[in-house]
Amino acid sequence: MRFSRQKRWIKKFVDSVLDFIPTRTIVKTEQCFPLSYYYRGADNNEEGDPPIRPVLDARWEITEWDRLRMVSLSRNYEKNSPVQNRLADIFEEFVVGKSGIQFIANSTNKAYNKQAQKVWDKWCADTNFEVAQAVIARTLFVDGEVFVICTRNKGERGIRIAETQEVCGSNGNTRCLNGIEYDSQLRPVRYIVRNVYGEGFSSYDASDVIHIFTKLRPNQLRGLPYCYPVLERLKCLELIIQHEMKHSRHTSSKAGFIIHNESEVPEIETRLRSDVLGDEVDTGQTEEELLEKRRKEIEDVRRVYGGDVGILEGNQDFKEFVTARPSEAFMRLYQVLLNDICEGQGIGKMMYSPESYQGTVARTIIEVNKSFFDGHTVMLGNLLKKVFTHITSTIPVPGNLNWNNIEIKLPRSIVVDIGRDSAKEIEELKAGLKSFQTSYSERGLDWKTELTQNAAEAEFIKNLAKEYNLTESEVVTKFIGDTGTSQKLTSDYKESTPSTTK
């Protein structure tokens, strides 16, 4: 009985280890994936077809070296490519905004909310959390992932932002892959992170680490740079621009050809050629004398005409080298590559270099990009809620309080036509299709604060009108124009008043 239990335990342990080790059996590709006899799409005998690769899980499909190599290329282009640098700016700008994502305590206890908000606001001001969010968003776009670690140092709570190459340690556990230890269900248990100062690593529990990355496939353990599908396009774009700039530098200088109208060449050229070819030609003058004579002729002409004047022999002509660059073909190729690079990373080319588009087309493109940015904003906001609870966890919590109910105030969204969008939003609010929270969040505002301010202004106008014996519309007409309310009140008053006209 005991031997049977030991045998089952050993089998379970071996299976768990093998679950983290890919198959290493070397077989021919054709044996693993025989080509189809019926589906031509599965054939691989056409020129240009990509090679057939084994179908693996996401965790085995890319090696750690390949992933870090793509991160290195992404960082290089972010530093040296104006296109990639601007796309990173756009992603950062529209995901977190200039003020960052705002977090507001929204429990049922107002006293707790006020105290927690005070602690949070002070910490954000001291650590400049808005800038930290911008760094997180930009690192996510460039590296494909970023780690936010909740730290505790002598009673003080804070965060540490770690890049992808810093999570790389190993604790000797077979379930630890590239700095992250997993359980049998591929759920993170611990993170092994390189120390900021000195050597060695520190181990953090998974509950204290926020691993931010876009998960594209099941069992994907690490994030990929957003430019991974367009790295070849970035290489090609950089290469053709370098060639075009090199050609432009050559053609922008004074360059051309000297054409001899006769077969006879000048004496100085004959002497120089004889030195190169080894022929002995005696013209009776030394090379220094010939060069000095030539210099004197050029200086004489410059004294008369001024500027950079060259001298040609009587039997010579000069033809300038002229070329029309950049060519139309180059410009078309540049636009194609630029469009692929932008669209391949989820940001429309219109966001990078706006052009004249028809209104409906522009609005559609903006709406697609708005969904892309808003999705990342919501993802970051939901993940960074853990930072709010980490910082405010020192406050005593009353019993049975939903203290972790945190409201997110999103940054201002992209708009195309402010007037059209405002009218549409008003209609949606009237029909109940949109809430005040959603409406104000799209403008980067807090709905409770704004409604409270609106109520305070309405009360002030009401009291002011009563004090000066005016209607409310008469008070606001001077600032926002006649809203029609005063006209309606005036007409109602006339109808209710008896006429004295005979």
Where are the strands (E) in 286-428, listed by range?
316-320, 406-409
| Residues of the chain predicted below pLDDT 50 | 23-30, 276-278, 483, 485-502
Distance, CA of 21 to CA of 13 (rounded, Å): 13
Distance, CA of 440 to CA of 434 (rounded, Å): 10
CB burial of residue 244 (10 Å; 0-12, 13-18, 19+): middle
For residue 63, the 8-state DSSP code is: -
Residue 13 has what pLDDT? 61
Residue 379 has what pLDDT? 92
Tell me the CA distances in angstroms from 298 to 285, 316, 320, 412, one per residue in order.
Answer: 19, 16, 20, 68
Select from 108, 104, 133 the least CA-distant residue to 437. Answer: 104
Residue 245 has what pLDDT? 84
Residue 365 has what pLDDT? 78
Q: Is the whole model's pTM more than 0.85, yes or no?
A: no
Residue 248 structure tokens:
């432009």
Instruction: Give the number of C-alpha atoms closer than 13 A to the C-alpha of residue 159, restricted to the C-beta side.
Output: 27
Identity at 300, one-letter amino acid code: D
Task: Supply the Cα-derived Rg of the chain in whole angstroms.
Answer: 37
Distance, CA of 322 to CA of 247 (rounded, Å): 12
| Residues in contact with 67: Cβ distance below 8 Å, sequence separation at least 6, in sequence order | 222, 224
Sequential DSSP letters for 259-282 = EESSS---HHHHHHHHHHHT----
Residue 380 structure tokens:
């970051």
Could you tell me which residues are beta bridge partners of residue 122? none
Residue 28 has what pLDDT? 46
Residue 241 structure tokens:
């621009």
Tell me the CA distances in angstroms from 426 to 81, 156, 257, 418, 431, one per residue in order.
Answer: 43, 46, 71, 12, 9
Residue 30 has what pLDDT? 46
Residue 478 has what pLDDT? 63
Residue 54 structure tokens:
């084994």
Compute the C-alpha angle 495/498/500, nearest 5°. Answer: 125
Residue 319 has what pLDDT? 66
Cβ atoms 148, 212 nearer than 8 A: yes
CA 187, chain centre distance (Å):
28
Cβ atoms 127, 158 nearer than 8 A: yes
